Amino acid sequence: MSHQLEKVKELIQLREKARLGGGLKRIESQHKKGKYTARERIAMLLDDGRFEEFDMFVTHRCTNFGIEKESYLGDGVVTGYGTIDGRLVYVYAQDFTVFGGSLSESLAMKICKVMDQAMKMGAPVIGINDSGGARTQEGVNALAGYTEIFQRNILASGVIPQISGIFGPCAGGAVYSPALTDFNIMTKGTSYMFLTGPKVVKTVTGEDVTQEQLGGASVHATKSGVAHFAVENEEEGITLIRKLIEFLPQNNMEEAPTLVCTDPIHRLEDSLNDIIPDNPNKPYDMDEVIGAIIDNGEFLEVHKDYARNIIVGFARFNGQSVGIVANQPKYLAGVLDSNAARKAARFVRFCDAFNIPLVTLVDVPGFLPGTGQEYGGVILHGAKLLYAFGEATVPKVTVTLRKSYGGAYCVMSSKHLRGDINYAWPTAEIAVMGPSGAVEVIFSKEVAASENPAEAAAQKEQEYRDAFANPYNAAKYGYIDDIIEPRNTRFRVIRALQQLQTKKLTNPAKKHDNLPL
C-alpha cells in the first residue's frame, strides 16, 4: 500500500471512530432511554445526505482529575451545516455518549463556530440539547464556554432564527442558551430544564419534587411558558422544526418563502356569518375562525397550552407566511392577562424582527382585574404587548369580530398603533367598556333611584349598547377602515396583505429600545 493510501485509510478509520462518539455501549444506553444519538438526530433533521460536518477531530484540552486520559474525537457535540427543503441551516447536536454531552471549552468553541458561520451566511441555527451541563472537570473554562455561546445567542437574536430542541437534560446555566433563542421544543418524558435540580431544591426550600415535576416538557409548555412546544417524541420534534423553518425567512433581511397556494383565495366561508352567539357572554371557538380563513386550515400554533386565552401561531394567506394573534373567547372569555400579554408580545416581536406580517383577530373583553394580576405586574406585561404592536413595522391587518373594550382595544393592533388595515365584523362592539360596566359607572345613582332598578339598568344598558356596542361609531372616525361580511374575511385579508406588500416604515434611530421588562 502506498504511503498516500495508508494516510487515506487512517483518515477513514479516524472518521469511523469519531462517528461512534462515546462508543457502542453508550449508544445502546442512549437508545434504551428512548433517545436518538446526536448524529441520528441530525440525519433526521436535514435533507437526505446533505450534512457537512465541522470539527470532527476536535478533542478537549483539559488535564484536571485524570480526564486527559479519556478523550473522544468530536468531544461531545456534532456540528455542521446542511439543508432543510433545500435551504441552508446550521446545526449542532450535543452527544450524550461523550461525557454525557457535558460542555467543555472545546465543545463550546465548536458551537460558537457554527453560530459565527450562520451569522456570516445569514442562515438559521438549530441546536439540539442533551447534556449534563458544565463539564465538571473543566471548571471555569466550561463557564467561559457557555457564556461565549450566550453572547452569540444575544447578537444573533433578531438577525437569524434560532431554534432549540431539548431532547434530554438541560440544567443549570445551560438553560440560558435555549431561553435566549426564539423557539424551544421539548420532548415529553425525556427532557427537562431547570436552574437547580431536585436535590438542591430539597436542601434550599424543603420541597420534594421530581425532575419531571420541576422542569419536564409539560410543566414548561403549560405553566412557565419556557417551552413553545411539547412533543410526544423526537420524531415529532424534528418534523416540527422542519415545519417551523418553512414559515421563516433565512434572516432579518429576507422574506419568508411564499408557497404555491392551493386553497382558492375567493373562498367564502358561510359558517362565519353565523358563528357569533346571540348572547354576548357565550363563547365560541376562535380556532374555528382561524381554520376557516387561512390556507388549507394549516395552522402551526405556538405556545398552544400556555395562556390559552390568546392564540398565536403561523399560517399562510395565499401562500404568504403570516403570524396570527387572536383572542380566544373559549378560555377566560379571551381576557388579556399577564401571561397572555407576554406570550403574544414575544410572538409579535419575533414576527416583526423577521418580516412576517401580522394578522390580528380581536374579541377581548378587556384586561383581567384583581390583585393577583396587579401584584404580578399586569401593567408592565400589558405594556409589553402594547409596545410590541406599536413598534412593529411589518404589515398589520386587524379584524375585530366581537368585543374590543377599553385598554385592550388600544393594545390589540388598533389603528392608533399604526395598524394598516383595520376591519370589523358587523357584530363588533368597540367601546370603553361593556354595557353593564358602563351603566354601573355612569348611571348607578339614576338606576338606584328609579322605581324598578333592574328594568332601569336594562334600559340604560340597551341605550349604551345602541350607542357604542357596534363597529359604526369607530368606523365613523376612520378607526375602522371597513365593516366586512364575516364570510368574506379570507378574501379581504388576502387583499389587504397584497396591498401591503411594498410597505415601508421605519422607527426612529436609537441604540435600542427600553421595552418595559
Question: Contact residues for ligand HXC (CB under 6 A)?
Answer: 26, 99-100, 102, 132-136, 143, 146, 169, 171-174
Which member of 122, 173, 319, 377 is catalytic? Answer: 173
**Distance, CA of 189 to CA of 212 (rounded, Å):** 7
CB of 21 closer than 8 Å to CB of 97: yes
For residue 30, give the nearest of 167, 206, 155 by alpha carbon.
167
Q: Is 456 a catalytic residue?
A: no
Query: For residue 45, how many C-alpha atoms fall within 13 Å in the half-sphere facing its CB?
Result: 32
Measured distance CA(50)–CA(53) in Å, rounded: 10
Q: Which C-beta is closer to ligand HXC: that of 32 or that of 476? A: 32
C-beta closer to ligand HXC: residue 116 or 148: 148
CA–CA gap between residue 6 and residue 22 (Å, rounded): 25
Number of residues assigned to the chain:
517
- Residue 229's DSSP bridge partners are 185
Q: In the complex with ligand HXC, which residue's Cβ is closer, 136 or 450? A: 136
Burial 238-257 (b: 16+ CB within 10 A, else e): bebbbebbbbbbbbeeeebb
> Shortest distance, CB of residue 182 to ligand HXC, whole angstroms?
20
Strands 310-317 and 320-327: antiparallel
Please report how close the Cβ of residue 169 comes to ligand HXC at its closest, in angstroms: 4
The C-alpha atoms of residue 290 and residue 308 are separated, in whole angstroms, by: 15
What type of residue is 31?
H
Catalytic site residue from 122, 376, 407, 437: 407
Q: CB 461 → ligand HXC: shortest distance, Å? A: 57
407 is catalytic: yes
Q: Which residue of the set 383, 408, 438, 457 is catalytic?
A: 408
Q: Which is nearer to ligand HXC, 50 or 188 (CB)?
A: 188
C-alpha cell at 381: 406585561
Our CB check for ligand HXC shows the closer of 172 and 329 to be: 172
The verdict on whether 408 is a catalytic residue reads yes
Minimum CB distance to ligand HXC smaller for 133 or for 435: 133
Closest CA to 70 of 79, 59, 80: 59
Tell the smallest beta-carbon distance from residue 125 to ligand HXC (Å). 19
Minimum Å distance from CB 134 to ligand HXC? Answer: 4
CA distance 490 to 294: 7
φ, ψ of residue 89 to 5 degrees: the values are -140, 155
Give the whole-angstrom CA distance, residue 115 versus residue 143. Answer: 18
Q: Which residues contact 310 (CB under 8 A, 6 or more apart)?
A: 325, 326, 327, 328, 334, 336, 340, 341, 343, 344
**Helical segments of 160-302, H only:** 176-180, 198-205, 211-215, 217-219, 234-247, 286-293
Count CA atoms within 13 Å of residue 205 on its CB side.
Answer: 9
Tell the smallest beta-carbon distance from residue 336 to ligand HXC (Å). 34
Beta bridge partners of 78: 93
- Hey, how many other C-beta atoms are within 10 angstroms of the C-beta on 466? 10
User: Closest Cα partner for 163 from 221, 105, 250, 223?
Assistant: 250
Query: Is the Cβ of residue 169 or residue 486 nearer to ligand HXC in the bound state?
Result: 169
Which CB, 97 or 413, lies closer to ligand HXC? 97
Instruction: Supply the minimum distance, in Å, between the C-beta of residue 23 and ligand HXC.
Output: 9
Closer residue to ligand HXC (CB): 170 or 494: 170
DSSP 77-143: EEEEEEEETTEEEEEEEE-TTTGGG-B-HHHHHHHHHHHHHHHHHT--EEEEE---SB-GGGTHHHH
Residue 173 annotated among the catalytic residues of the structure? yes
Q: Measured from the CB atom, is 176 or 284 closer to ligand HXC?
A: 176
* CA pair distance 344, 446, nearest whole angstrom: 41
Q: Which active-site residues does the annotation give? A: 172-173, 407-408
